[in-house]
C-alpha cells in the first residue's frame, strides 16, 4: 500500500470580524498599529487614531486589504478632543461594534520626584480617556439596542511593582479595575468589556527610551528573564484583542488576560528558573 500525502493547504484568514467596525486608539505606531491591522485582516473596517502620528502607512495597508479606514488625530488629555474623537468615530462608518482602548503614556521617574502635572497628564490619557470613550461607545450600543465589545490595554505594571513607575502602574491597575466593574455592569446591556495585560513586547518606543537598545541584547535579556524564553510579538497581542472582541470569547466578561510569557507567574525569589533547585525542602518528612 502506497502512502498518499495530501497537499499542504495554507490556512485562510478566519474573517471573524467581517462587517465589524472598530476604533483603535493610539494606532499610529507600535502595538496599537498592529492591533488595528489584525482587525482589518480579520475583515473589520477600522478607525485609526493617534496624537502625533498620521498613521498613513497603516491606512494604506488596511486599504490594500479592501477594508474601509478613517484616520483621526486627538490629544486624549484634552476633554473636548476626547469627546470629539468619540463622535467622529461613531459617525464615520455609521456606528462602531468594537472599541480597543490602546492609547497610553508611559513615564518612569522616581516616586519622590513625581509632579502633580505628570500625575494629571498620565491619568487623563490612560484612565479618564478610556473611561469616557467606553461611556460614549456603550451609550451608543444601548441606544441602538445592539451589541458591542471593548478591549482595554492594561499592563503587567498593574499587577506587579517596578521602581519609578508609580503613576503609570496606578493607571494600569485602574484600567484592570474599571474593566471588571464596567464589564459586569454592562454585560446584560449588550456590551462585553475585557482587557489585556501585556508583558514585554518590543515596540518602537523602546529604541527611543532605552540608550543603546538593540534586538540582540534584548533577545538575551528575554531569554534570561522571561520563563517562555523570549519577549512577546505585537501580532500575538493583536490576535488576542481580536479574540476578545469576537464571538469566540462570548462568555468572557470583565476579565484581564495576562500575556507575558509567564513573567508575573514567576516568583521573584527564584534566581534561575531554568535549572534544577539544589534545595531539599521536606527531606525530613517524606
Give the per-residue pLDDT at 7. Answer: 43
Query: Using H for helix, E for strand and C for coil, what is the string for 125-179?
Result: HHHHHHHHHHHHHHHHHHHCCCCEEEEEECCHHHCCCCCCCHHHHHHHHHHHHHH
Span of 1-15, 26-40, 110-124 with lowest mean pLDDT: 1-15
Nearest to 197 by CA among 130, 248, 121, 255: 255
Whether 123 is catalytic: no
Return the SS3 of 99: strand
pLDDT at 104 over 80: yes
Sheet with strand 45-50: strands edge to edge: 69-73, 45-50, 21-24, 98-101, 148-153, 191-198, 256-259
Mean pLDDT, residues 137-154 taken together: 98
Give the per-residue pLDDT at 67. Answer: 97
Q: What is the mean pLDDT of the chain?
A: 91
Contact 256, 197 (CB under 8 A): yes
Give the per-residue pLDDT at 269. Answer: 74
pLDDT at 69 over 90: yes
pLDDT at 150 over 70: yes
Mean pLDDT, residues 177-191 taken together: 98
**Separation of CA 30 from chain center:** 11
Look at the block and give the residue holding cell 483603535.
24
Nearest to 119 by CA among 134, 111, 156: 111
| pLDDT band at 56; cut points 50, 70, 90 | confident
Q: What are the residue ranges spanned by the domains of the chain? A: 21-259
Question: What are 61's three cell numbers?
Answer: 495597508
Say what the pTM is: 0.91
Give the per-residue pLDDT at 46. Answer: 98
Contact 151, 99 (CB under 8 A): yes
Question: What are 205's three cell numbers?
Answer: 518606543
Give the per-residue pLDDT at 279. Answer: 65
Give the per-residue pLDDT at 217. Answer: 82
Give the per-residue pLDDT at 272. Answer: 76
Active-site residue identified among 168, 206, 207, 285: 168
Give the per-residue pLDDT at 19. Answer: 95
Give the per-residue pLDDT at 121. Answer: 97
Q: 21-259: what fold? A: Rossmann fold (3.40.50)
| pLDDT band at 122; cut points 50, 70, 90 | very high
Nearest to 197 by CA among 116, 280, 102, 114: 102
Write the pLDDT tens digit of every residue in 160-169.
999 999 999 9
Give the per-residue pLDDT at 140. Answer: 98
Write the pLDDT tens digit of every residue in 273-283.
778 777 666 77
Give the per-residue pLDDT at 42. Answer: 98
Amino acid at each position: 500500500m502506497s502512502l498518499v500525502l495530501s497537499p499542504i493547504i495554507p490556512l485562510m484568514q478566519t474573517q471573524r470580524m467581517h462587517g465589524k467596525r472598530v476604533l483603535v486608539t493610539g494606532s499610529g505606531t507600535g502595538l496599537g498599529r498592529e492591533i488595528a491591522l489584525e482587525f482589518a485582516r480579520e475583515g473589520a473596517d477600522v478607525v485609526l487614531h493617534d496624537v502625533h502620528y498620521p498613521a498613513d502607512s497603516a491606512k494604506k495597508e488596511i486599504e490594500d486589504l479592501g477594508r474601509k479606514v478613517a484616520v483621526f488625530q486627538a490629544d486624549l488629555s484634552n476633554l473636548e478632543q476626547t469627546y470629539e474623537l468619540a463622535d467622529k468615530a461613531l459617525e464615520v462608518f455609521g456606528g462602531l461594534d468594537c472599541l480597543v482602548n490602546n492609547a497610553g503614556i508611559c513615564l518612569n521617574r522616581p516616586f519622590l520626584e513625581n509632579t502633580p502635572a505628570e500625575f494629571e497628564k498620565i491619568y487623563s490619557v490612560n484612565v479618564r480617556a478610556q473611561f469616557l470613550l467606553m461611556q460614549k461607545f456603550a451609550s451608543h450600543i444601548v441606544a441602538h439596542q445592539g451589541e458591542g465589545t471593548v478591549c482595554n490595554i492594561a499592563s503587567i505594571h498593574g499587577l506587579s511593582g517596578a521602581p519609578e513607575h508609580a503613576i503609570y502602574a496606578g493607571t494600569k491597575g485602574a484600567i484592570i479595575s474599571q474593566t471588571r466593574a464596567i464589564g459586569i455592569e454592562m454585560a446584560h446591556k449588550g456590551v462585553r468589556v475585557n482587557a489585556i495585560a501585556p508583558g514585554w513586547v518590543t515596540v518602537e518606543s523602546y529604541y527611543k527610551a532605552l540608550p543603546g537598545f538593540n534586538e540582540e541584547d534584548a533577545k538575551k535579556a528575554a531569554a534570561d528573564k522571561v520563563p517562555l524564553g523570549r519577549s512577546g510579538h505585537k501580532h500575538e497581542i493583536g490576535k488576542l484583542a481580536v479574540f476578545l472582541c469576537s464571538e469566540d470569547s462570548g462568555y468572557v466578561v470583565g476579565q484581564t488576560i495576562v500575556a507575558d510569557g509567564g513573567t508575573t507567574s514567576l516568583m521573584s525569589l527564584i534566581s534561575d528558573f531554568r535549572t534544577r533547585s539544589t534545595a531539599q525542602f521536606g527531606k525530613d518528612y517524606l
